[in-house]
Structure 1
Amino acid sequence: MTQQSLSSRAWAELALLSLIWGGSFLSIRIALDEVGPFTSVAHRTFWAMLLLWIYVAWSGLRLPRSPKVWGAFLVMGLLNNAIPFSLMAWGQLYIETGLTSILNAATAIFGVVLAAVFFADERLTTNRLVGVCLGFLGVSIAIGLSNLAQFDLRSLAQIAVLGGTVSYAFAGIWARKTLRALPPQIAAAGMLTGSTIIMVPAAWILEGPISLALQTDTILAIAYYAIIATAGAYLLYYRVLAMAGSGNLMLCTLLIAPIAILLGAVFLGEALQPQAYLGFAVLGLGLLILDGRILRLIRR
Structure 2
Amino acid sequence: MMKQTSISPLAWALMALLALIWGGSFPSNRLALAEVGVLTTVAFRVALGALLMWGVVALRGITRPRGLRVWAGFLGMGLLNNALPFTLIVWGQTRIDSGLAAILNAATAVLGVAVAAAVFRDERLGLRKGAGVLLGFTGVAVAIGIGALARFDPGSLGQLAVLGAALSYAFAGALGRVTTRGMAPELAAAGMLTAAALVMVPAALLVEGPPPLHLAPATWGALAYLAVFATAGAYVLYYRVMQLAGAGNLSLVTLLVAPVAIVIGAVMFHEALPLRAYLGFALLAAGLIVIDGRALRYWRPAQKSRDPAAGQG
Tell me which residue corresponds to 2:75: 74
- What RMSD in Å do the two structures reach over aligned CA positions? 1.0
Which stretch shows the higher mean deviation, 241-250 or 277-286?
A: 241-250
Aligned length: 300
Tell me which residue corresponds to 1:13: 14
Hey, what's the Cα distance between the residues in 1 that align with 2:248 and 2:83?
Answer: 26
Tell me which residue corresponds to 2:54: 53
Following superposition of structure 1 onto structure 2, how do residues 174-193 of structure 1 map, counting pairs within 5 Å? 174-193=175-194
Deviation by residue 1:230-260 (Cα, 9 ceiling, x = unmatched): 0000000000011111221111000000000
Tell me which residue corresponds to 2:305: none
Q: Is 1:289 the counterpart of 2:290 in the alignment?
A: yes
Preserved CA contact (<8 Å) 1:82 1:195: yes
Tell me which residue corresponds to 2:123: 122
Deviation by residue 1:48-99 (Cα, 9 ceiling, x = unmatched): 0010101111111100111110111011100001110000000001101000
Percent of aligned pairs sharing the same letter: 57
Please state how far the C-alpha of 1:2 moved relative to its aligned partner: 5.4
Hey, what's the Cα distance between the residues in 2 that align with 1:293 and 1:277?
Answer: 24
Preserved CA contact (<8 Å) 1:2 1:245: no
Tell me which residue corresponds to 2:27: 26
Residue 47 of structure 1 aligns with an amino acid whose one-letter code is L
Hey, what's the Cα distance between the residues in 2 that align with 1:212 and 1:235?
Answer: 29
Hey, what's the Cα distance between the residues in 2 that align with 1:23 and 1:289?
Answer: 27
Tell me which residue corresponds to 2:136: 135
Hey, what's the Cα distance between the residues in 2 that align with 1:278 and 1:255?
Answer: 16
Preserved CA contact (<8 Å) 1:73 1:187: yes
Please state how far the C-alpha of 1:124 moved relative to its aligned partner: 0.6
Tell me which residue corresponds to 2:266: 265
SS in 2 for 1:94: coil
Please state how far the C-alpha of 1:293 moved relative to its aligned partner: 2.1
SS in 1 for 2:271: coil
Q: Runs (4+) of structure 1 moved beyond 2 Å?
A: 210-213
SS in 2 for 1:149: helix
Deviation by residue 1:243-286 (Cα, 9 ceiling, x = unmatched): 11122111100000000000000000000000000000000000
Following superposition of structure 1 onto structure 2, how do residues 1-300 of structure 1 map, counting pairs within 5 Å? 3-300=4-301
Hey, what's the Cα distance between the residues in 1 that align with 2:205 and 2:153?
Answer: 27
Preserved CA contact (<8 Å) 1:142 1:278: yes
Residue 271 of structure 1 aligns with an amino acid whose one-letter code is A
Please state how far the C-alpha of 1:177 moved relative to its aligned partner: 1.0
Residue 153 of structure 1 aligns with an amino acid whose one-letter code is P
Hey, what's the Cα distance between the residues in 2 that align with 1:88 and 1:3?
Answer: 32
SS in 1 for 2:211: coil
Hey, what's the Cα distance between the residues in 2 that align with 1:26 and 1:142?
Answer: 19
Hey, what's the Cα distance between the residues in 1 that align with 2:196 and 2:212?
Answer: 19
Residue 69 of structure 1 aligns with an amino acid whose one-letter code is V
Please state how far the C-alpha of 1:212 moved relative to its aligned partner: 3.4
User: What 5-or-longer segments of structure 2 have no aligned partner?
Assistant: 302-313
What is the TM-score normalised by the length of structure 2?
0.94
